[in-house]
Every structure is written in C-alpha cells, then in structure tokens.
Amino acid sequence: RRFYRNKMRSFSRTLVALSLAAACTAFSPSFGVGKSSFRPAVAEQHATTSSNVGRTSSTQLSMSATVDLKGKVAFVAGVADSTGYGWAIAKALADAGATIIVGTWPPVLKIFQMGLKRGNFDEDATLSDGSKMEIAKVYPLDAVFDEPDDVPAEIKDNKRYAGLDGYTISEVAKAVEADYGKIDILVHSLANGPEVTKPLLDTSRKGYLAASSASAYSAVSLLQKFGPIMNEGGSMLSLTYVASEKVIPGYGGGMSSAKAQLESDTRVLAFEAGRKWGTRVNTISAGPLKSRAASAIGKEPGQKTFIEYAIDYSQANAPLAQDLYSDDVGNAGLFLCSDMARSVTGVTLYVDNGLNCMGMALDSNSMEGTLTGKV
C-alpha cells in the first residue's frame, strides 16, 4: 500500500511538471497576443448626443501594433464614403498593413471616386503613423447580380450605370483575381431594403425579397465567387444588426428578416467554407451609427431620423452609457480578420455597448422611481 501511495505521488508530480511545461510552451504566446494601447489623439470632450456618433473616437484603441497584415489583400464590398462601418474596417486593416481594394455601388461610384481624388476623405483616412489610407483600386459592384445574364435591360440602360460593365459579383471576383491573384480578407458591408420604412405587415413580397437579396444572399454569393481565390486561413466578415433577434420598430421592409438570414448563413458558411477552403466566417452585430446610409431611413422634415432615435435609445439604456464610434467596430473587425482570431468562426460578435443584453428600457416612463443602474 505504501508502495502504491509513493507511485501515485510520483505520478502526480509528473503530471504537474508536464502541465507546467505545456503552459510555458504551447500557450506562452498568449501573453503577447492581444496587447493594445490607447493613443490619445485630441484632448477634447465630445457631448453625448446622437449628432456626433458618426465620427471617429478622440481616443482610439490601436491593435495594429500587434497585428501584421503586410502582404495581405482585403476586398471590402460596400464602401461609398467615410462615414460607415465598412470604411472603419478598411481603415483598421490598412493600419495593420493590408492592401485595401473596395467594391462600390455603381450609381455612387463616380461621386466616391471624385471625393477620393479631391481629398474629401483625407481626414477620415489618417492612420496611426500619420499617413493616409490608400485604396489601391475601386471596383464597380452591384451585389444583387451574380452573373452578367442576371442584369435586366432597365439596369443596363439606366444612366446611372452608363459606361460601366463588369459589376456583377462573378465579374468582380474575376477582375480581382486578374489584378491580385489571391486575397486574404473579404468584408461584406452592404445592405438595402427598398421598403425599410414600412412595417412588415405592409411590406410587399417584392420589397421583402429585395431586402433579402441585397442584404443576405449577397454575402452567400460573394463567398461563393471569392472563396476559390482566397488563401487558406482567410477570413470573411459581415455586418448585422440586433433587429435580427429583437423587435426594432421602424426597421421594416423585411430588413430584420434579412439580418436574421445573414446570421444564420454565417454559421452554415463557417462550416462549409471552413471545410472547403479553410476560411473563417464571422459577423459583427454593430450598434447604431449615424452613417450616410442609415440617416436616410425614416427621414421626415422637422423630426429625428430612425437612426437618431436608435442612437439616443442606446445611450439611455445600454450598460455602457457612451458613444459608439466607427473605429470601435473597425478594431473588432481587425481582430476577427487577423490571426489572433484564427480559431474563431461562425460567431456573431456584438459591438454595441452591451445593448443586446438588455431586456428592459431604463428610460421607460414605467421605470420612473425605480433602480435604473445609476450610481
């Protein structure tokens, strides 16, 4: 019995030694991964109002110091100005060294290109080292069309598409392959619901399917066409919204359904693309931002827009009562697209100051005189 106890003690010591050795080898890089630094840019205080949320933060969280994307190519679909999350993600990737190419909706392509040429976006393109983000190439992209034969005559003859061709998803993928060979990162930052201001009960079949086509299936099609030209270990990222799972009055026209589809497809595509190409697929559920596109929802003279209501509601009820900036989502996107997230796929990551976890509105009239979390 004494011999048996001695053997067990010796075995236990061996296990402890092996465990410590493993902790000092296989897991030791974790001490250096994910380090970040705050870079104070301008010592100014922003008022907590919905009018300033589209701007970048005065205190930026920089992860680029520990993420090296030099030699990587990122295609960002859905960039048409510097106010949205697509631009913020592109900027964060560029700050880490990635080559940025973008796809822009044909009707606004010339306006965007002119803005780039005139330097209209230079302030929003400033990187951590003081240089400007360079967009290596802008491709016309209409993500509701997969192949050239899908484009109807009324689109081909539309003056907003005049002089343009090769803007279907398959054609853009071939053009990117011809220009760059392989890419490493694919970002889906586009959505459209022609009847977004209508309640679901008033939404037509055509409007509902249009929202699904532009906002959800477009992500599937992008990965179908770009997946074969992505390097193994590549990453696809999309953007979703909490309306996929919670009721958000004013976000109608089938858009809430489209976002639910996008999140479900993220999980399925994570499995299929992971096994087929070694590609990771994730989505960010971002809080409200006063971007150009979002500001167009429900705009009535003399009234706040839908997005302004959403921003004010978030600031009043989210666990973190602070502004949400585009670079908050940009840095989350950088993490998901980098090797730091090499084992993360099929995830919906909330970047919304925690609003998604709330089940009760603190600023509701029914909550007056009760505990609201204020200290």
The yes-or-no answer on residue 217 being catalytic is no
Predicted confidence at residue 370, as pLDDT, reads 59
Question: Among 161, 167, 241, 325, which one carries the catalytic annotation?
Answer: 241
CB atoms within 10 A of CB 190: 27
**CB-side exposure of 60: number of CA atoms within 13 Å?**
22
Selected residue with higher pLDDT from 373 and 110? 110
The predicted-structure confidence for 50-73, as pLDDT tens digits, reads as follows 444 444 544 455 555 589 999 999
Identify the bridge partners of residue 137 per DSSP, sorted by sequence position.
Answer: 101
Predicted confidence at residue 35, as pLDDT, reads 30
Average pLDDT over residues 191-209: 97
Predicted confidence at residue 244, as pLDDT, reads 97
Predicted confidence at residue 19, as pLDDT, reads 40
Predicted confidence at residue 301, as pLDDT, reads 67
Selected residue with higher pLDDT from 301 and 108? 108
CA 87 → CA 93, 101, 203, distances in Å? 10, 11, 31
Span of 33-47, 87-101, 207-221 with lowest mean pLDDT: 33-47
Predicted confidence at residue 365, as pLDDT, reads 74
Distance between CA atoms of residues 166 and 179, nearest Å: 14
Predicted confidence at residue 363, as pLDDT, reads 84
**Percent of the chain predicted with pLDDT > 90:** 70
Say if CB 85 and CB 331 are below 8 A apart.
no
Q: Among candidates 170, 175, 171, which has minimal Cα distance to 223?
A: 170
Predicted confidence at residue 300, as pLDDT, reads 65
The yes-or-no answer on residue 241 being catalytic is yes
Average pLDDT over residues 10-30: 39
Question: Among 251, 309, 313, 325, which one carries the catalytic annotation?
Answer: 251
pTM, two decimals, is 0.80
Predicted confidence at residue 307, as pLDDT, reads 83
The predicted-structure confidence for 251-282, as pLDDT tens digits, reads as follows 999 999 999 999 999 999 999 999 999 999 99
